[in-house]
Structures are given as C-alpha cells and as structure tokens.
Amino acid sequence: MQQLDNFELRFRQIHLDFHTSPDIPGVGADFDPEHFADTLVKAHVDSITMFARCHHGMIYYDSKVNPERVHPHLVNKNLLNEQIEAAHKRGIRAPIYITVQWDYYTAREHPDWLAIDPDGRYYGDPSEGYQSLHEAGFYQILCLNSPYREFLKEHTREVLETFKPVDGLFFDIVFPVPCACRCCTAEMEKRGFNPLSESDRMAYSQLMINVFKAEMTAFVRSIQPDASIFYNRGHVGVAHRAARDAYTHFELESLPSGIWGYLHFPTTIRYARNLGLDCMAQTGKFHTMWGDFHSFKNKAALEFEVFNMLALNAKCLIGDQLDPRGRLSEPVYELIGSVYEQVEKKEPWCRGAVPVTEIGVFTPEEFLGARAGLLPESIQGAVRMLQELGMQFDVLDSQSDLSRYRLLILPDEIEVSEAFAGRLSEFIRQGGSVIATFESGLAPEKDRFALKELGVRLNPEQTKDDCGNEVKGKPYPRFDYCDYIIPSGDIGKGLPETEHVMYMKGLEVTAEAGSTVLAKAILPYFNRTYKHFCSHRQTPSSGKPGYDAIVRNGNVIYFAHPLFKQYNQNAPRWCKQLLKNALDMLMGDYLLRHEGPSTLLATINEQPKENRRVVHLLHYIPERRSKEIDVIEDVIPLHQVRLSVKTDRAVKQVACVPEGTVLAHEVKEGRVEFTVPVINGHQMICLSF
C-alpha cells in the first residue's frame, strides 16, 4: 500500500464538530468567512478539521450524489467550500470529516444495514451497549459488511472530487463490533468462524475492519494520493499495529474530562509513538466531553493537557463544536488562543523530537482482547506508578523492539507464549532486567510459567472461596482474602519492617532452587467468610508465613501480588515503594532524577538534528472535585527543584526555553545537575551538546 513519506502533522489543530439536528433552523446563517478565518488566526490555529457529513447523517455541501441528505435548513449550500477556502487563504490546513458507523439518517432508511446481535438487537455506543431506533441518539452502528460500504465509497469519492485537492480525511467511528447480521454470518461461515460465539464474531470483525481500512485507503489513494488518512475509534492500541499501513498518522482521542480520564492519553501515546507514524492527541474545550455546548474547560486544565502532548511527542488538537448558525465563539477561541500562543513559542524545541526512555512496559491489551475494555487496570497502575517515580518509559506489545530498553516490566497479566518467552529470555541473556507481577509470565493455558527466568513455579493448589472459586487477584470490598508481607533488606528500603497488607490475594508460588526469596506472604488468622470474620475488614496477620511473595533470580524480580492493579484501585504507597526498590536493585542509575514531589511529571526528548535534549517538567494536579470527572483549576508553582540527568556527552549549556534563561550546571560521574528556579505549570529545559 502506498504511503505518504514522512508525513508530518502541524502542532495547533482544531477538530470542529458539527453534528447538527435536521430539526434546527438557520444552519450556517451567521457564517462569515472573514470572521471565521480571523478568529482562527487570532487563536494561533494552523489546522482545522471540518465536516462533510455528521452523525445525524446530514451533509454540509451541495451534494449532487446525495441531495436528499443535505441538511434541510442549510442556509448556505457552499458552507464547507467557504470554510475550506477561508482556512486555505490564511495558510491553515483543512482536513475533512466523514462519519462512518454512526449515521442516523442511514440507520432510519436502512435498518437492514445495522449491526445486530444473534437476537436481532441493535448494537449501540460500546460504553452503553444496545440502542433501539426509538431512543435519543445516533449510536446504532452501521455494519461495514453491508451495502453501506459502497454508499460510503461513493460519498467519499464525491468529497474528494468536489474539494480537490483535499488536505486529508478523518473517518470517524470505525471499530469492530460482534455483528451477526446476514452479511457477517455468511462471511464467518465461509472463513470457519462460529457466528454464535461472541469472541469469534469479534475476531472476525477485527479482521473485516482491517480489510475495510486497507480497501478504503487504496480507494482514496486512487483518487488523491496526497491526502492524509485517519480512522478513529476513540482509542489507539495494539489492534492498530496490523492496520498501520492504512494510516498516514494517528490521532489519539482522549478527553480527560470524558470517558477516558487523565491516564488514557499518557498510556496510549507511549505505545502509539513507537509505531512509526506521526501522532496527534485530541482533547476538548468542553467541561465534560463532545457536544457539551456553551461550556469552557478551565485554562489550567487545557494548558496541562496540551503541554503534556508536547512532552510526550504528540501534536496538539483541541475539540470544539460549531454553533448551528455557523459562527465561532470568540470567548472559546480566546481560551484556545491563550494556550496555542504558548505552544507556538514552544514548537522549536518539540519539532522532530523523539522520546528518550530506558524502561519498556507491556500492555495486556493484546492478551485480554475485548475483556481489556478501554484500558486495563494493570497498565493504568503501571503508568501511574512510573510517572510518579519520574521514570522514562514506553508501552510495548509482544512484537515491539526490546533492544532499546534496560528493563522490562510485565504488569500483572502478561501471558507469555513460547515465542514471546524466547524473546524475553534472549533479552535477559543479553544483560537486560525484568520485573514481573502476579500472573505475568504464565503460559496462555495459565497452568505453568513459560518464562523460566522468573525462578518460580506455580503451586498446584490455589486458595478458593466456599464455592470452590479461586480468589487470587480478585478485589473484595472488605479485602476478604488478603495477606501480608514484611519488607526487609533492599526490597524493603524506606518501609518499616512490619506487616504491610496486600489487599488482593497473590498467585501462590514457590521459588525454584537458585532463586532468592526476598519476602514471604504472611497469612491472616483466617479468611473473612460468614463462618469467621474479624472487625470491619480483613483479618489481621497471624504471623505465619505462607507462599513466596517476592523472588529474585539474577536480574529478574517477581512479585506474586497484582501490584499494579492494586495501585490503580487504592494506591497503597508501599506498593509503589516496593516497585521503586526493585528498580533500584536492578537499574540503580536512572536517566532522570528530581527532588520534586510525586505530582511533578518529567520526560526527556531528544532533537537529533539540533544535537540537544529537552526535559519537560509539568506540575498540574487533577482533583476529583465532582462525582464524575477530575478537575484542574489552579497552577501551583514549584521553586528551586534540583534535577540530575544522565548524559554521555559534554553539555555546553543548560537553559530554560523558550525564555532563554541560562542555568548554572555541573557535570559529575556522567550526570549533569542543575536547579530549576521555578516551574509554573510547564517548563522546558534544553541541554545543548
């Protein structure tokens, strides 16, 4: 498949939603091309995605192929044309938006094209389940195996030919769904999938979606080879590796105030940026999420979200929704401009930058499949811990290049096939270190450890509840099956040598000969059941040792408990300290050390052409000020923060950028050390070689 060579996104993009009901009058009546363009220029916008067809199924140009779908109250039939022309006159890029699997008009006209389950129910928004045709919302999902695919191609052809040359296409809502419609069932039977099995239907759908993307990209290329192409599903993860060549770039939809939260973006970008395509991150100006009309994100929150994109090697995108009458909100673009003006000044130290990392963390997405949800708890916990510890890391899958890393982390549920075990074993033989927790390292059958270097074997009997169900790794509201560890020695550094509760039961293992037991699990007097319980929650320690809880085998450390899932649930500081101690034992000398609080986020990027490294420091603190979302309202400055950065080159200068303030520094034992006078939200430090 033909690719755009070295396609590079711009830094300051807007995604201008325009999902407008056909029952709203005067659509586009207040649109003025000059005001539109002036507003974007004042807001320092250099790219804006605008709508050809929305989720309502309405078209916003004078369509000759589908005139019946043109919005019935579209005052100016040339709205999209004039929007694009106004943007282009000011040097602003203008990709075009096309909805794919959500289209209310098509759903009503062709319910036979909708994705259904075996009982004939219509699938809806994945976060909500099913949706009938009589519910408010356009979330019924169109099946791309139906004749709808040909309709979509002809619609896309018209867009490409009407607006030629088109800067790019943004295809929205393209994701697998376990459809059992007539078309999917026939294809599944041909290919040996069982249409009655949801997992088979989902596996087939993922294959079909990948074929669709390749086919649509080839179709677009046949008409306009230079258009950028992106297919959006609200998440970029391991499924994108197989379809990578259908994309020119990735856009990571991740509105922290929506369903994603503040951990989604840093996790997904740390994976996506290693797939070889330029990346853009999406947040929104909304207080909650898409379609939240007449709302405003706190400026501090918008700053953090956008500056964190720069820190993690992504271009910036802020989502907005155009008022039905077609006039941009000046207060909204004053807010956006106040942030994008800063981005424009920071760009020279972000352009062409690549991350500098030393730890690779595997995501369980590829092993959990549909069970993974939006983001598995174990990878969330790992990202939380490592960010708070100031570590420089990437998120990997089993096909990733391992040679770039000093240490690999397998959090809680990374299954290891024979082939994957071979790669990990070779990494260890070459001097690399590994930390694994809970069920990570087990073979796919879960009956043995495939990664022998962990130095443990699975006990034949695991603790069960009164119904005979294994309790390992399960969260119980009152911690019914917890146990304890007593940290000591190097693994217990910074912790008192006494019992520390491990709220979820670990995987019961025994250290192999030659391995060192760093801590045993200490058992409670009994497990909490109706037969016997103590106080409000877990039973206290009996002092009796049980299975081996922390084991070291050379440069490999294994924790029997699900440290990362536990940290994501209720953040026991001792779990993070245990991880930090294991990292110290296996690595010691990190790329970056700082004396700031755990709320300080620190990353290192390199600009090879400029022969310099840039350290990004961010201090914004999300707070759960409401039941539903985390909020950032205030910027709390940090003063006189000491940093130490590992370097193998002579450092000519250390300076705050873009301010240009030169900082005093000293180099000793392969590290450059300096003090940052103030971090007022976001500060970049340039190390010039």
What pairing do the DSSP bridges indicate for beta strands 661-663 and 665-668?
unpaired
Nearest to 225 by CA among 286, 320, 160: 160
Query: Are residues 606 and 667 located together in one domain of the fold?
Result: yes
Q: Enumerate residues 6+ apart whose C-beta is below 8 A from 61.
A: 52, 70, 77, 78, 79, 80, 81, 162, 163
262: domain CATH number?
Answer: 3.20.20.80
Kindly report the CA angle at 450 between 445 and 452, in degrees rounded to 5?
A: 155
606 lies in some domain: yes
- Does 426 have pLDDT greater than 70? yes
Question: What per-residue confidence (pLDDT) applies to 373?
Answer: 79
Cβ contact 140:200 at 8 Å: no
- Does 561 have pLDDT greater than 50? yes
Mean pLDDT (whole number) for 124-131 = 87
Domain closes at, from 586, 615, 645:
586
- Does 444 have pLDDT greater than 80? yes
Give tens-digit pLDDT for 528-540: 999 999 999 999 9
- Does 184 have pLDDT greater than 60? yes
Query: Are residues 266 and 340 located together in one domain of the fold?
Result: yes
Nearest to 398 by CA among 386, 407, 406, 408: 408
669: domain CATH number?
Answer: 2.60.40.1180
Cβ contact 679:617 at 8 Å: yes
Query: Are residues 91 and 54 located together in one domain of the fold?
Result: yes
Beta bridge partners of 550: 519, 559
Mean pLDDT, the chain, as a whole number? Answer: 96
- Type of residue at 269: I
Give whole-number Cα distances, 638 to 598, 622, 631, 676, 681, in Å: 12, 16, 20, 9, 8
7 lies in some domain: no
Query: In what side-by-side order are the strands of the sheet with 592-594?
Result: 592-594, 638-646, 671-679, 665-668
Mean pLDDT (whole number) for 205-212 = 97
Query: Are residues 567 and 615 located together in one domain of the fold?
Result: no
Query: Are residues 434 and 576 located together in one domain of the fold?
Result: yes
Band of the pLDDT at 133, cuts 50, 70, 90? Answer: confident
Query: Are residues 574 and 431 located together in one domain of the fold?
Result: yes
Cα–Cα distance measured from residue 496 to residue 486, given in angstroms and rounded to the nearest whole number: 8
- Does 114 have pLDDT greater than 60? yes
As a three-state string, the secondary structure of 77-137 is CCHHHHHHHHHHHCCCECCEEEECCCCHHHHHHCHHHECECCCCCEECCCCCCECCCCCCC
Mean pLDDT (whole number) for 231-253 = 97
Domain closes at, from 557, 586, 615:
586
212 lies in some domain: no
Query: Are residues 24 and 53 located together in one domain of the fold?
Result: yes
Band of the pLDDT at 5, cuts 50, 70, 90? Answer: low
Give tens-digit pLDDT for 613-644: 999 999 999 999 999 999 999 999 999 999 99
As a three-state string, the secondary structure of 227-285 is CEEEEECCCCCHHHCCCHHHCCEEEEECCCCCCCCCCHHHHHHHHHCCCCCEEEEEEEC
Query: Are residues 408 and 290 located together in one domain of the fold?
Result: no
Query: Are residues 280 and 412 located together in one domain of the fold?
Result: no
Query: Are residues 371 and 467 located together in one domain of the fold?
Result: yes
Domain that holds residue 399: 359-586
180 lies in some domain: no
* Total structural domains within the chain: 3
User: Hunting for tokens 């044309």 — which residue is that?
Assistant: 81
553: left (phi over 0), alpha (psi -120 to 50) or beta: beta
Give tens-digit pLDDT for 459-485: 999 999 999 999 999 999 999 999 999
Question: What per-residue confidence (pLDDT) applies to 583?
Answer: 98
Mean pLDDT (whole number) for 575-592 = 97
Give the chain's radius of gyration (CA, Å): 27
Q: Hey, what are 254's tokens?
A: 């991740």
107 lies in some domain: no
Domain closes at, from 351, 386, 417:
351
- Does 3 have pLDDT greater than 60? no
What pairing do the DSSP bridges indicate for beta strands 665-668 and 671-679?
antiparallel
Cα–Cα distance measured from residue 689 to residue 675, given in angstroms and rounded to the nearest whole number: 18
H/E element, 569: helix 563-570
- Does 429 have pLDDT greater than 60? yes
Question: What per-residue confidence (pLDDT) applies to 1?
Answer: 45
512: domain CATH number?
Answer: 3.40.50.880
Beta bridge partners of 228: 168
DSSP state of 336: H
- Type of residue at 42: K
207 lies in some domain: no
Using DSSP's 3-state secondary structure scheme, residue 407 falls into: strand
Q: For the range 61-68, what are the long-range contacts, defined as Cβ-Cβ under 8 Å and sequence gap of 24 or more?
A: 61/162, 61/163, 63/158, 64/158, 65/154, 65/155, 65/158, 66/155, 66/158
Nearest to 509 by CA among 445, 438, 433: 438
pTM of the model: 0.96
- Does 197 have pLDDT greater than 50? yes
Give tens-digit pLDDT for 478-527: 999 999 999 999 999 999 999 999 999 999 999 999 999 999 999 999 99
- Does 89 have pLDDT greater than 80? yes
- Does 355 have pLDDT greater than 90? yes
Band of the pLDDT at 20, cuts 50, 70, 90? Answer: very high
197 lies in some domain: no
Query: Are residues 316 and 416 located together in one domain of the fold?
Result: no
Band of the pLDDT at 369, cuts 50, 70, 90? Answer: confident
Query: Are residues 394 and 533 located together in one domain of the fold?
Result: yes
In sign, the C-alpha dihedral spanning 565, 569, 574, 580 is positive
187 lies in some domain: no
Give whole-number Cα distances, 195 to 187, 192, 686, in Å: 9, 9, 57
User: Hunting for tokens 């994705």 — which residue is that?
Assistant: 115
